[in-house]
Amino acid sequence: MKQWELHCSRCSAKLPFRYQDMKCTCGGTLLVNYDIELVAQTFTKSSLALRYPSMWRYHELLPIHDPSHIVSLGEGWTPLLRLPDWENKLSLKRLWIKREEQNPTGSFKSRGFSVAVSLLKQAGATKAAVPSNGNAASALAAYAGRAGIQAFVFIPMDCPSLIVDECPMYGATTILVDGFIHDAAAIIESGRTEQGWVNVGTLKEPGRVEGKKTMGFELAEQLDWTFPDVIIYPTGGGSGIIGMWKAFKELKALGFIHCDMPRFVCVQEEGCQPIVDGLNTSLGGSPSSVCNTASPPVGDKIIPNPTGMRVPNPPDLELLLSIVEQSGGTALAVSKEQIAQATHSLGSEGISSSPEGAATWAAMLALSSKGWLRPTDSVVLFNTSHAMKYAKLGTSAAIPIIRTYDDFMLYRNI
């Protein structure tokens, strides 16, 4: 085989590499397969130890031929922070949080778009479009700006305004859509040929899964080439789960690690939980709630103030469910109230967490109280984005405004 090729996750068909249209004729998703023997010649634990702290330290397992095509803003190699007090409180062997908010665009989306936009540059593409609940849009905008590629981002109109405002700052054509992310995706598909856009939506091209894969490599390397027992991850389209699962399989194929795969936990938000419902159905239960997959009526937001987890139709639910089930993992939905409480808990630890990151904390508490998490478990949470990206303009009503020290004393005495 060549250095890399495509491989269908459902029917195992093999195809030459291409940088768009990742749907196999059988309906499965095409993923990148590498020549592991070739990779093993230079990708060794000792060589990695000497490399620059960036996700591009894993370049042999990323599908870019020429380093001059790499579009980088300094992504990856984010801190893995241990929370020893909470290990004691919750009776866990280890608890860490992977601080993905420290990526250059303030979210984990930097990783996928660094690879996706590098592939566009490698292919000579000039225009790219993405449907997004926010962070993917700002990441495409930033990386496309860096590469001199025109970005078109389509965002549901109730998404966080600061993230929306970031996109034109990077030079992207930014459009708000009165609908869900799949309505935004349908607009891109309708205009793709006429406008000359490459659709860089979830699982539409190979770069985003490959970029997210580096979270798995990093985690294993930061844990001295072991896997944690449990990964709790906020899940929308699912490219992060697919990417990390792929990373761990590649590390096993290289002989780096022999232990069991981590149990993957997909966290969603109550009201839009297709993975939770899909898992319940496949385990013989009935959906715990109905995810509304229809477009909201004009002016009426059915699930307002969405997070990145509001993806009613994940592009390959079958693959996601098979990963979660094979790993012995689970999926659960948490409420807005649980997320708000978790934001404060993480804030008390000095961590600025997005609602999605806070959702993993809420899920951890729920799984701990149910006894699903065991005292022998080492657990990793993902804080996928920064709280500030979700801030509302204007000062919160709860924060006082003063002019003098006397005002302060007055405030203190109220």
Give 24 or 342: the residue with its C-beta nearer to Zn ion.
Answer: 24
Nearer to Zn ion, 13 or 402 (CB): 13
Whether the CA torsion 289, 294, 297, 302 is positive or negative: it is positive
Q: Which amino acid is at 338?
A: Q
Coil/strand/helix, residue 334:
strand
Q: How far apart are the first and last CA of the chain?
A: 74
What is the smallest separation between the CB atom of 318 and Zn ion, expressed in angstroms?
12
Nearer to Zn ion, 10 or 374 (CB): 10
Min CB(7)–Zn ion separation in Å: 9
Please, what's the b/e burial string for 225-251 (b: 16 or more CB within 10 A of its CB; e: otherwise)? ebbbbbbbbbbbbbbbbbbbbbbbebb
CB of 10 to Zn ion, least distance (A): 5
- CA separation for the pair 350, 345 (Å, rounded): 9
Rounded to a whole number of angstroms, the minimum distance from the CB of residue 285 to Zn ion is 29
**CA quadruple 387, 391, 396, 400: dihedral sign:** positive
Find tokens 């000497």 and name the residue: 50
Residue 76 carries which DSSP code? -
DSSP string, 338-377: HHHHHHHHHHHTT----HHHHHHHHHHHHHHHHT-S-TT-
Output 28 or 312, the one with its CB closest to Zn ion: 28
Residue 23 or 374 having the CB closest to Zn ion? 23
- The minimum distance between CB 24 and Zn ion, in angstroms, equals 3
Q: Is the dihedral of CA 367, 203, 213, 258 positive or negative?
A: positive
CA distance 164 to 174: 8
- Closest contact distance (angstroms) between CB of 62 and Zn ion is 23
Q: Which is nearer to Zn ion, 312 or 315 (CB)?
A: 315
Minimal distance, residue 186 CB to Zn ion, in Å: 24
Q: Which two tokens stand for residue 174?
A: 């930014």
* Nearest CB to Zn ion, comparing residues 314 and 329: 314
Binding site for Zn ion (CB under 5 A): 8, 10-11, 13, 24, 26, 28
371: Cβ contacts below 8 Å, ≥ 6 apart: none
CB 21 to Zn ion: min, Å: 13
Pick between residue 26 and residue 253 the one whose CB is nearest to Zn ion: 26
